[in-house]
Chains A and B, each alone.
Chain A
Amino acid sequence: MANTACFIIVSRNDIPIYEAEVGSAPKKEEAAHQHQFILHAALDIVQDLAWTTSAMFLKAVDRFNDLVVSVYVTAGHSRLMLLHDSRNEDGIKSFFQEVHELYVKILLNPLYLPGSRITSSHFDTKVRALARKYL
């Protein structure tokens, strides 16, 4: 499992709808906004890159020092972004795919308003379990 990993789902309106620190490193106060900064800045890169390929998994699109941003863009242009320091690309890809599946299930919930924050605790548990499994 990666030391640092910050997973975030950004809606098509560039609003984070799900955030989770899934790294094994102890959580630092400073990290939260730093991770947001890096991921937010990486959106600029994703914005360009997303239209150059038909693949959903964009691999590592941006980096900041030793932290790498991997992105997975869904068909609805929601972006699953992972900030990590590990190099396990296959694991990340699997992680993204399975989270995407979970995300689609969330979308199927008639009570979920697309673009709103995901508050399902079940989703959270599952994502963290996937993070432990793949990252």
Chain B
Amino acid sequence: MSLPSENKMDPVNSFLGRLLLEELTPVVMVLSTPLAEDACQKNGLNFVEMLLPFSLFNKIDVPVRTASDQPYRLQMFKLRLVYASDICQQNYEVDVVTNSTLALALVADTLTSDIQAAEEHLKKVVCDTSENTLPDLLSDPPQLETILNKSVSHLCPSWIQTFNKELIRTLSFSEHETFDHPVACLLVVSSKDEQPVNRFVDLFNTDRLPALLNDGAMDPKILKHYLLLHDNQDGTPENSVAYFHSHQKTSASLSHEIARFLDVDDLNGIRDFMLDLASNHIIPHMEQKIRILNQQVSATRKGFRNQIKNLWWRKGKEEMPEAPNGPTYTFSSTESQIRVLGDYAFMLRDYELALSNFRLLSTDYKLDKAWKHYAGVQKMGSSGQRNATRCGLWWAEMLKARGQYKEAASVYFRISNEVPSLHAAVMLEQASYGYLLSSPPLLRKYGFHLILAGNCYYISEQRQHAIRAYRNTLCVYKGNAWTYITNHVHFNIGRWYAFLGMFDVAIKHMLEVLACSHQSLATQTIFLNDFFRVVQSMGKIFEVYKLQLPVINMASLKVFYEDTRTYASSADGAPSDDNANANALVKKVKEAIKLDLEFKNPLQISISVSGVSLICELSADSGATNFDNSVSETALHEDAEFRKPPSCRDPSDDSSLMLSKFDFVLKGGETKKIQLKVTPRVEGILKIVGVSWTLSDSVVGYRYFEFDTKKNKKGRKGARHSLQRNLNFIVIKGLPKLEGCIHHLPKKTFTGDLRLLMLELRNQSEYSVKSMKMKISHARFLIPGSSADLNLDFPRCLEKRISSASNDVPGNIMEKSRSLLFSFPNDASIQGGTTFMWPLWFHAGLRGSISFYVSVYYEMENSSDMTYRTLRMHYNLEVLPSLDVSFLITPCPSRLQEFLVHMDIMNRTSSETFCLNQLSCVDDRWEISTLPAYVPICPTQTLSAGQALSCFFKLKDCRRTNKERNLSVQGSDVPLGPQGSNKVLIDISRSPLVDFHFHERYHQGKMVQGSPSIVDFILISSILGGSNGFLAFLFSSITSKSPIWWLMDGPRMINHDFATSFCEVSVCVTIRNCSETSASIRLATFDILPAADQISDVFQPSDPSGNQGGWHDASLVDEIKVISDVQASHPRKPSSESISPYVWCGASSTQLKLEPACTAEVPLRICVFTPGTCDLSNYELHWKLQPSEEGLGDDVKRWSSADGLPFGASAASVFQPEDSFGPHERFTPNLEEYVCPILSNDNLASTAFDLKLGNYI
């Protein structure tokens, strides 16, 4: 426990010290006559007010001697002058409290009108200051640093201390403490009063005295001081003095007379009077009283004996029910005497004595020890809330004086729970300062309590204070993620500002809460409605920088502009990111710059946004040369300009710019992409600086596109950098611009779709363009047609005409499409305002998503800065699978130059049905035909969804030997439609199909035209019941790569009577040279296979075990796998059988030379000894192709060889027809039966021949 005197702080400097000096001072009760008051009123003051300035003595320097013998000097002293009526008033209330002391249940609603008066007084204190704070409210809210750096006295506004003081004052004159009990009584009578002495007596009439004196709480015998007031204007003071002196002997004590009409002398007179009153009368009186009381108290309480006695006595007393009426302690009770003694001693600064008395007393009163220093005799709880408040205030002040701000704050907070809202507000505000001042500062607590205080202020209708409190919290809550808190603070500040009519500030705060996506729908509605109401009551369009509603996704900013590049649709192209030359950002007059921005509504309620447009600056002049400079200059100015609302910018040239405006409604949570346009009308430099919009027709939001200039310097190639550049444009004179589109281009189509499209180019300027060229990214899909195609009737135009002459296909089409850059005819120019059409052929060659680009280049007729432009078109296309077609070509086992074509078709669509129309073979050296005895594949000739189909065709190589073949395609066709249908065949040799065929081959990397081994097919089909379009499929298939073809042929079945003789069979090997060069060929037969190296270094027998003549398994394992499967299925005799069933006879080796495309026949004979099936495979064919330029090369390695392949002849009674592949076998499940080897090895070719010999019976 620390003594008050230990508090080393200078009492004058601390609030507590001043409070002590000012509040705990002797009270002088003033009783005055009306006439005396009148005299004072001449100065506009009442009597107390007149004396007030002189009641404080800073240097009274009076020696005091209290209980101890040692005198000390009192320096600072103050007298409190209070009208007796005031004491009465206050007391009335206190009486009520007192009377219900034991009930403990006094609450605020029992407050009398007097309290309300007190409340009014307090309220006035608050109101007065609130008007003073008004200018503050207009300024910016304080920053956190400034608050933290503020001194204690700055933080706690002086009016709060005033409030505290006033609050304490309203609670004074209670019965249980004597600080406020009058020490002396000043009786004032005017000299104009009749019988002044009688008036004095009348004044101190008990009827008019405060209740304190009457009900015994106070000693009624107090020091009386009589004062006669004389006004010099009413007569000479001498008369009065003389008169007064005549009555002096009746006075109980010395009287003074002062007469004046306030001049300097009068003031001095008052001062002297007060000094005299204090030093000569009151202080000695108190000294005397202290000494008397001290003696009494010592006699009754001090000493061991007394304490014991007292203890017993107290115990008994506590059990006694206390009297319900009247104070417990009267002035004559010991406790009261102690109390008076303590208080008096305290007031005279004899703290030692006071403390000892309080200690003594506190044990009696059973008080909280913590309370004892100053307000120690308060009875918390038993004397009602208001005393508790008062006591709390003292306590808090005390804690503050000792630096325990946090504790003080919690005391304030406790007080705030008990008192009406206005008091609570002040208490809470003080609590918040307490938290702020504590070390370390509890900022969040500070903020919270300020908010609470603000709330209380608002409840008690002190809006200015409420705003002030809330505003001060902004620095605490600024930029924190506790969204509910920030929303609450900003919204309420905004609302309250609006009440005060300060709409601009109100809106500023309300703007903060607009994007409150986390709030409930109801709250969002409230926020928005209030906001709009405030905006409307403001009465003018409000412009807001960075309005939060709707949210703009700056990352979505995309600029579209056209310089030499123009675009057909907005989706094409991206903001320029290439072009090293910054000056290339050129814009034509009257051409729009487009800018994409995303707007998002974060709320659940829909908002309407209108008038969305760009903010642009068009500075006339400053040519392209200083373009770069202007960019850097404007970058410097930008920061300053960013805060300016769009209306501040010069709206001078409305005519020079044309801005598009958009209106739209964003539903809850919706995001919309808006394309904004600006069209300059005069030349100069155009700068797009920002975007502005109107929210709900009431608020204009604007936002400037910001560039991080710091980043620019660091990374010059940063995206931001290019964006900044991209928003500055040089506007030049108007130039022609083509607009274009492709008509009839489907979004989705089936593979193979062939269409005639139309390219439309519009020139909307007045100038004409010329030298147009076009390039298409996917020539496989799109090729330009010719002017002749313009009016064609598709698809009839493609049909084969009887008189169709292939010559009408210009030979240069190939060349043109080969170059992939299409030049429009030289005379093609588009005059201003006209439209130009050009046909395009489209063929969906490949399934999948295709995006292709078409660029049209054109030159200006009147060349200026810009000599050419390009129009870019971009299309996305989805190609769906339709028919899967695969071809398999096998050499016909029984014919040279003939192949079997196996076509598998599968309908891959889910719903479409296809008609097969025609299969054509490109290149006229092939002739395709149906197999004999051809039966329609399926009667309907349609292929429904998911169905598969296999067809077989015969392919004949009817290549002419002469080399001067025409390059133009004249294929052969097979109609696939139902027999007898009169469908006209499509002419595949006409322009689009030929061109697409060419690109298809180009794409597949098989450019070698006329390669003997490649056959290209075109399958024409159409969708059943579909439009008149058709599908064309282009396929290539490899027939064989072997340059030498041979075929062993002979009778398949021979009946022979082996009993008579052996059988002699003639077979014939037909050899054809398919290569481009002549070949020398050697055919060798042998009964036992020779060692491989004897013939060729190249030939390596793969299966040494098979190197035997006779019935052996002629293995071709290394050549193709399929063969081994075939062989496996053949019934063969085991090769262990040593005796060959036949022998070759005749020439064992034949050598011949074959010119290209020539055929030779080599006759061979065998002698067969036993019936059975012979495998005539033990022969070898060696060939050597002669390089055309070298003549007969001696390169041995060019020698190629092949084993004779199994040639079997079976002995059966029925001779098989040569063409053993009838249509009825077409659907044999084991297709491999028909597969003849397609050799992967270039040097090896094969045929198969089985001879079956039956025993003739």
Contacts and interface: CB of A to CB of B under 8 A. Distances in A.
Interface in A16-65: 16, 29, 32-33, 35-38, 40-45, 65
Given A16-B482, A33-B488, A36-B482, A41 B445 contact: yes
A33 B485 contact: yes
A42 B449 CA distance: 12
Nearest to B448: A41
B571 interface: no
A15 B481 contact: yes
A62 to B, nearest CB: 9
B480 A44 contact: no
Contacts of B451: 37
Given A16-B482, A29-B520, A29-B522, A38 B448 contact: yes
A15 B480 contact: yes
Contacts, number: 44
Contacts of A98: none
A38 B484 CA distance: 12
Interface string B345-380: 000000000000000000000000000000000000
A36 B443 contact: no
Interface string B304-317: 00000000000000
Contacts of A33: 484-485, 487-488
B143 interface: no
B415 to A, nearest CB: 14
A63 to B, nearest CB: 11
Contacts of B487: 33
A40 B522 contact: no
B520 A40 contact: no
A14 interface: yes
Nearest to B526: A29
A45 B523 CA distance: 31
A10 to B, nearest CB: 9
B443 A40 contact: no
B523 A37 contact: no
Given A32-B484, A33-B484, A33-B488, A40 B523 contact: no
B421 to A, nearest CB: 15
Nearest to A30: B488
Nearest to A39: B482
B42 interface: no
Interface residues on A, range: 10 to 19
B745 interface: no
A62 B222 CA distance: 52
- Chain B contact residues: over half helix, strand or loop, or mixed? helix
Contacts of B435: 44
A44 B482 contact: no
Contacts of B482: 15-16, 36, 40
Interface string B413-436: 000010000000000000000010
Contact of A44 (B442, B484, B485): B442
Interface in B445-474: 445, 447-449, 451
B1078 to A, nearest CB: 72
Interface residues of B, number: 20
B18 interface: no
Contacts of A65: 417
Contacts of A32: 484
Main secondary structure, interface of A, reads helix
A37 B481 contact: no
Interface string B711-740: 000000000000000000000000000000
Nearest to A46: B444
Contacts of B445: 41, 44-45
A41 B435 CA distance: 11
Contacts of A43: 444
A44 B520 contact: no
Contacts of A42: 444
B488 A40 contact: no
Contacts of B522: 29
Given A15-B481, A32-B484, A44-B443, A37 B448 contact: yes
Given A29-B522, A33-B487, A33-B488, A40 B444 contact: yes
B480 A14 contact: yes
A29 B523 CA distance: 8
A20 B393 CA distance: 39
Given A15-B480, A29-B522, A40 B442 contact: no
A41 B444 contact: yes
B480 A36 contact: no
Given A29-B520, A29-B522, A29-B523, A40 B481 contact: no
A33 B482 CA distance: 9
A29 B448 CA distance: 19
B485 A37 contact: yes
Nearest to A17: B481
Contacts of B484: 32-33, 35-36
A37 B488 CA distance: 10
A79 B960 CA distance: 92
B1212 to A, nearest CB: 76
A37 B476 CA distance: 12
A42 to B, nearest CB: 8
A32 B516 CA distance: 13
B481 A41 contact: no
Contact of A36 (B449, B485, B523): B485
A8 to B, nearest CB: 9
Nearest to A37: B448
A27 to B, nearest CB: 9
B905 to A, nearest CB: 49
B440 to A, nearest CB: 8
Contacts of A29: 520, 522-523
A92 to B, nearest CB: 22
A94 B435 CA distance: 33
A44 B444 contact: yes
Nearest to A14: B480
A28 to B, nearest CB: 11
A43 B488 CA distance: 19
A41 B447 contact: yes
A44 B448 CA distance: 11
A33 to B, nearest CB: 4
Contacts of A37: 448, 451, 485, 488
Contacts of B520: 29
Contacts of A35: 484
Interface string A84-128: 000000000000000000000000000000000000000000000
A41 B449 CA distance: 9
Interface centre among B443, B447, B480, B482 (most CB of A within 10 A): B482
A51 B520 CA distance: 37
Contacts of B481: 15-16
A7 to B, nearest CB: 14
A56 B481 CA distance: 24
A96 B484 CA distance: 24
Q: Which of A16, A43, A44 has the most CB of B within 10 A?
A: A44
A14 B485 CA distance: 13
Contacts of B449: 41
A36 B489 CA distance: 12
A25 to B, nearest CB: 16
B529 to A, nearest CB: 15
Contacts of B480: 14-15, 40
6 contacts: A16-B482, A29-B522, A32-B484, A33-B485, A41-B444, A42-B444
Given A36-B485, A41-B449, 10 more contacts: A33-B485, A37-B451, A38-B448, A40-B444, A40-B482, A41-B445, A41-B448, A42-B444, A44-B435, A44-B442
Closest 4 CB pairs of A and B: A41-B448, A33-B484, A33-B488, A15-B481
